[in-house]
Amino acid sequence: MMLNGKQIKHLTLPLWKAPIKYIAVQKRAEQQLKESRENFRVLAETVPQLVWVKRPDGLYKYTNQRWRDYTGLMLEQVQSGRWPCLQFIHPDDQEGHRAHWQHALDTGDMFEHKARLRNGQTGEYRWFLTRAMPVRDEAGQIVKWFGTNTDIEDQVRIEEALRQSQERANALMNSNIIGITIIEGEQIVDANDTFLRMTGYTREDLRAGNMNWRHMTPSEYLDRTFEAHQELATQQSLTPFEKEYVCQDGSRLPVLVGAVVLPHQPRQAIAFVLDNSARKELEQRKDTFLSMASHELRNPLAALKLQTSLLHRQLARQGTLEQAPALSSMETQINTLIRLVEDLLDVSKIQAGKLGYRQERVDLDALLHEVADTMQQIKATHTIVVRGATSCSLVGDKDRLGQVFTNLLSNAIKYSPQAETVEVEMDTAEDVVSVRVRDHGLGIPREQCEKIFERFYRVTSPRQKGIAGLGMGLYIVAKIVKHHKGTITVDSEVGKGSTFTVAFPKRRAV
Ligand code: ADP
């Protein structure tokens, strides 16, 4: 027997033969043993693990209450059989468990294995880490194993969730569909192979710090890109937007880019980059088609208009104009067609950056009256009220500015079929001159108020859709206003009406 590391050999003497002092030593030793057993029991019952002691043949000598509660087994039920513990180990984990035990028994090494153990009450399995240490006698023989089962279900779940999310992220990262970059300031500090392939850069370029998004952005996209980075800084995320990258060989790549700030490294953001060239090419083809179609339509339409007006004059001269009522409706239809084709041409020119502007002095007050008068002659359904006009001049293109107000007035009338008036109001403040066109019509849903200035966008409500239009007018209007350094906004309420406000800075006034 060992006591505090010292061997006590004479304790095997019968008590009656032992001298008094040996009896005292033996008693002390027994007392200490009892205490140490009690300490072990208290410890084994206190720790949050399942605790057990096994004989070298695998049969249980001791299990703590927690073990019995979890497995639902009494000690007697695991004191016979070859591998009594297998009954509460998940079938898929039994083989591994057995192999690990065998190895531990053969080598005397510590046993360690993760397995699912069945809860005797619920029948559910939870992951446990089982650990066991051999205890040896003086001859070095294993006399028992002390073991614990630690519940690692939550840890395993977290690890599994992490593994899955890493797997998903890797699938995306390694796919050759989407470019991914990590940016810090203006520097691209990491990128996946797809992004490098898309832009023609190498991993060495990346390592050497040669990839800087500002240098890779063509000048015409710089403003928009800075705006995007501002959004990223304030909102922590960036709504996907279209731009181009200058590739390593100098070629351009149209892309769609979105990004989010990394939560644990706020100085860095992760961005996705999608190759947008197929869509851009399609758009380009559509634009080319629109431009060609509108050019092709313009000449025959002009000839048609010329011939109908010749016919008009001829019939008027003969005094038989009233007998040909179809002629005037033909002329109206031709004019509508010409306007549509003109709009199409304008849209194409804007797209190509070729919409020309004259620079001339424009009397805004006179222009508004002119537009309102012309419109009043064409559209007798509404009364056009012009208010607050004061003398004010701008430098710009008179026809194009006229086009802005004609369009707004024509929309105001078109989208207020039940109303009787539309109003035009001019207002000059110290540094801006603004013109408001107000109607009392259908109104525009709030969430679509920005979109109506996009190319070919039309409000989706059925009443609006019932009114003919192609969604080009406001796009052209917005571009013309922008060219004149002005702004256009809309204030609208569905069922009540809309007010479009165009404002020009006075510094353009002469
Ligand atoms: P459209 O040829 O369709 O009128 P616009 O570009 O002029 O094209 O206008 C875009 C869309 O905005 C219209 O389809 C319409 O839905 C909406 N809209 C424009 N002006 C008004 C208005 N005054 N009241 C209500 N909706 C309007």
Does the CB atom of residue 497 touch ligand 1 within 6 A?
A: no
Cβ atoms 333, 370 nearer than 8 A: no
Over 80: is that where the pLDDT of 72 sits? yes
For residue 7, pLDDT beyond 50: no
Indicate whether residue 458 lines ligand 1 (CB < 6 A). yes
**pLDDT value for 313:** 92
Q: For residue 277, what are the contacts with CB-CB under 8 A and spacing of at least 6? A: 253, 254
Is pLDDT at 303 greater than 60 in this prediction? yes
Measured by CA distance, the residue closest to atom 7 of ligand 1 is 473
- Residues, the chain, total? 510
Averaged over 186-215, what is the pLDDT?
Answer: 95
Question: Which mutation among 403, 415, 499 tests ligand 1's pocket best, with the greatest number of atoms within 8 A of CB?
Answer: 415
Distance CA 471, CA 459 (A): 9
Query: How far does the centroid of ligand 1 lie from the alpha carbon of residue 448, in Å?
Result: 11
Q: Residue 389: which pLDDT band, with cuts at 50, 70 and 90?
A: low
Sequence spans of domains, the chain: 22-157, 174-275, 280-352, 360-508
CATH hierarchy code of domain 22-157: 3.30.450.20
Average predicted confidence (pLDDT) for the chain: 90
| Any atom of ligand 1 within 6 Å of the Cβ of 411 | yes
458 alpha carbon to ligand 1 midpoint, in Å?
6
Average pLDDT value for residue range 283-296: 90
CB 403 less than 6 A from any atom of ligand 1: no
Q: Which CATH architecture has domain 360-508?
A: 2-Layer Sandwich (3.30)
Q: How confident is the model at residue 16 (pLDDT cuts 50, 70, 90)?
A: low
Give the pLDDT confidence of 86-139 residue by residue, as tens digits: 889 999 999 999 999 889 988 989 999 999 999 999 999 999 999 999 999 999
User: How far away, in angstroms, is 411 Cα from ligand 1 center?
Assistant: 6
Cα separation, 486 vs 501, in Å, equals: 10
Bridge partner residues of 425 (DSSP): 387, 436
- Determine if ligand 1 sits within 6 Å of the CB of residue 206: no
Query: What local confidence, expressed as pLDDT, does residue 57 receive?
Result: 82
Mutate to test the pocket of ligand 1, among 350, 455, 458, 500 (most ligand atoms within 8 A of CB): 458
> Distance between the two ends of the chain, CA-based, in angstroms?
113
Ligand 1 atom showing the smallest separation from residue 471 Cα: 8
Mutational pocket test of ligand 1: of 408, 423, 424, 452, the residue with most ligand atoms within 8 Å of the beta carbon: 452
Residue identifier of the C-alpha nearest atom 13 of ligand 1:
458
- CB-count exposure of residue 370 (10 Å: 0-12, 13-18, 19+): middle
Query: Which CATH number among 3.30.1340.10, 1.10.1370.30, 3.50.50.60, 1.10.287.130 corresponds to the domain 280-352?
Result: 1.10.287.130
Q: Which position has the higher pLDDT, 20 or 465?
A: 465
22-157 and 174-275 share one CATH topology?
A: yes
**Residue 387: pLDDT above 70?**
yes
pLDDT for 5 beyond 50: no
Task: Render pLDDT for 250-278 as a digit per residue (tens, 0 to 9).
Answer: 999 999 999 999 999 999 999 999 999 99
Residue 347 predicted with pLDDT over 90 = yes
> Does 199 contact ligand 1 (Cβ within 6 A)?
no
| pLDDT tops 70 at residue 510 | no
Residue 283 has a CB neighbour count (10 Å cut-off) of: 13
Phi, psi (rounded to 5 degrees) for 406: -60, -45
Rounded percentage of the chain residues whose pLDDT exceeds 70:
95
- State the average pLDDT over residues 176-200: 94
| 410: Cα separation from own chain's centroid | 39
488 within ligand 1 shell (Cβ under 6 A) = no
Q: What is the pLDDT of residue 508?
A: 45
Kindly tell me if the per-residue pLDDT of 10 is higher than 90.
Answer: no
pLDDT at position 39 over 80: yes
CA 465 to ligand 1 center in whole angstroms:
10
Helix (H) or strand (E) holding 193: helix 193-199
Ligand 1 atom with minimal separation from the 437 CA: 23
Please tell me the pTM assigned to this model. 0.63
User: Residue 241 pLDDT > 80, yes or no?
Assistant: yes
Overall CATH class of domain 174-275: alpha beta
Give 400's DSSP letter: H
Residue 343: C-alpha distances to residues 181, 305, 329, 472 (Å): 41, 17, 21, 7
What is the distance in A from the centroid of ligand 1 to the CA of 452?
7
How would DSSP label each residue in 453-485? GSTT----SHHHHTS---S-HHHHHHHHHHHTT
Per-residue confidence band for 2, with pLDDT thresholds at 50, 70 and 90: very low
pLDDT digits (tens, 9 = 90+) for 460-505: 888 888 898 999 999 999 999 999 999 999 999 999 999 999 999 8
> Alpha-carbon distance 277 to 272, whole Å?
15
Residue range 305-333, pLDDT digits in tens? 999 999 999 999 998 888 888 888 899 89
